[in-house]
Amino acid sequence: MPALVNGRILAISLPLAISAVLRSYAAWRFIQKVGDEPKNRASRSAVSAVTSRLPAPMVPTRWAGTPLASARRLDESPIGVVQLLNKTDGPFNDTDAVVLDTIAAVATMAYHNFRLSEESARASTLLGMGKVSHDIGNLAASLYASLSFSEMAIGSLKENLLEQTLSPAVQENLECLDPMVDDLKKSVDRIVGYSRLISDMSAGRELRPNLEKKDMAETIQKGAAYLETEARSKHIELKYEIEENSPETYFDDLFVFRIVQNLVGNSVKAVYETISDDVLDAAYEEETFGSVTVRYRFVDNGHVFEVIDTGPGMSREVANRILSGNARSQWSKAGGSGWGTKIVLELAASHGGKVEIDSEIGHGSTFRVIIPHRTSE
């Protein structure tokens, strides 16, 4: 702020509550002096909201403000507000109002330009992900074909070996082949399914879950288990609190699997951010410095899945940005595209579910997904 201006006025930012008040303003700009009777209920609420949140020395004797908005429309929700307080050489005038409007217009334009740039970058990222996912899907399909031929070869080998006397060790290894091939085929199926999912999202196609009646607890535990190795490598303990004997429900196994992996993976990254490099360098192989808890329970006819971490936590503003699908990766040790949580929101919504976040800076975070129970497709 220029020295001349700084000597004349005191500038502060208003509470977020003012944005809601400004939505109902009859006029966009307001200039008010203490002692004047506010002209409408919205103005009275604004004055009260401002003065009630200021320390005594900062209670304004004169103040002027204007909302940050892209157009002069009464139905537009402002993105913020600029306010000037306590002009020392008389009341605010039309010149001050014009300066204030100019500052607000420039700030609003800068904000919208930033958002457009951010959305453009994210769209380019998603387009690239769609192309890559298509290639991965093709490669996975080729791998699946190779596995099918391998399965036939293994079957023929087993028939020939059954005619011979085998040692217990060879017999044991032989019996392990079929389950191993089955696991590989399931993994390839998930890769193919996920590549199609990303391809659909990048093309803007509606997600259509393949609903099957299954045990959701089993899918959740299996999805988290894939990340146990990564968690151990980062000295983070992965815990489970899975309610057993919950009723089976109709859901898309791949969609829920991806929700689990994205949320658990993000929480592992969050906890890892809190561990200093010095601690990691001096740590024993099995030593842990934080935890991620995977919790599942059936409550009020809904399937509730939570991921609770001991990471740095976040403000309500950041949590709201995540829930709106506009978050970006904020980790310095482990990067990301920022699309993980957006995918979680889309997959949960495809089941009629919702995502919630409980968090406080310095006290970790809890991500909660609630999916309604289904007794039919």
Overall average pLDDT of the 85-102 stretch: 77
* Phi-psi category of residue 364: left, alpha or beta, with phi > 0 → left and psi -120 to 50 → alpha: left
How many CA atoms within 13 Å lie on the side-chain side of 25?
25
- 12 close to 85: Cβ distance less than 8 angstroms: yes
β-sheet with 354-359: strand ranges across? 237-242, 291-299, 302-309, 365-372, 354-359
DSSP 38-72: PSSHHHHHHHHHHHHTS-GGG--SEEEEEEE-SS-
DSSP 8-state code for residue 327: -
Q: What is the pLDDT of residue 299?
A: 92
pLDDT digits over 107-123, tens only? 888 877 877 776 776 66
Overall average pLDDT of the 54-82 stretch: 61
Higher pLDDT, 57 or 63: 63
Q: What mean pLDDT value characterizes the chain?
A: 76
Alpha-carbon distance of 246 to 21, in angstroms, equals 46
Domain 212-372 architecture:
2-Layer Sandwich (3.30)
Q: Does pTM top 0.85 for this prediction?
A: no
Alpha-carbon distance of 198 to 179, in angstroms, equals 29
Listed residue (241, 369, 356) closest to 293, CA to CA: 241
DSSP 8-state code for residue 205: P
Higher pLDDT, 273 or 29: 273
Higher pLDDT, 64 or 322: 322
Q: What is the pLDDT of residue 122?
A: 64
pLDDT digits over 244-269, tens only? 889 999 999 999 999 999 999 999 99
Alpha-carbon distance of 320 to 224, in angstroms, equals 25
Beta bridge partners of 220: none
Q: What is the pLDDT of residue 20?
A: 37
Based on the number of CB atoms within 10 Å of its own CB, is 333 exposed (0-12), middle (13-18) or buried (19 or more)?
A: exposed
Based on the number of CB atoms within 10 Å of its own CB, is 263 exposed (0-12), middle (13-18) or buried (19 or more)?
A: buried
Q: What is the pLDDT of residue 42?
A: 47
Higher pLDDT, 146 or 42: 146
Residue 199 neighbours by CB under 8 Å, 6+ apart: 130, 133, 134, 137
* Length of the chain in terms of residues written: 377
**Ramachandran angles phi, psi of 220, nearest 5°:** -65, -45
Q: What is the pLDDT of residue 33?
A: 41
Is residue 27 scored above 50 in pLDDT? no
pLDDT digits over 225-237, tens only? 989 999 999 999 9
Q: What is the pLDDT of residue 36?
A: 45
Dmax of the chain from CA atoms?
106
Higher pLDDT, 240 or 334: 240
Overall average pLDDT of the 96-113 stretch: 81
Q: What is the pLDDT of residue 11?
A: 38
**Ramachandran angles phi, psi of 297, nearest 5°:** -155, 160
Alpha-carbon distance of 314 to 363, in angstroms, equals 9
Based on the number of CB atoms within 10 Å of its own CB, is 101 exposed (0-12), middle (13-18) or buried (19 or more)?
A: middle
pLDDT digits over 169-185, tens only? 878 887 888 888 888 88
- All structural domains of the chain with their residue ranges: 3-92, 120-202, 212-372
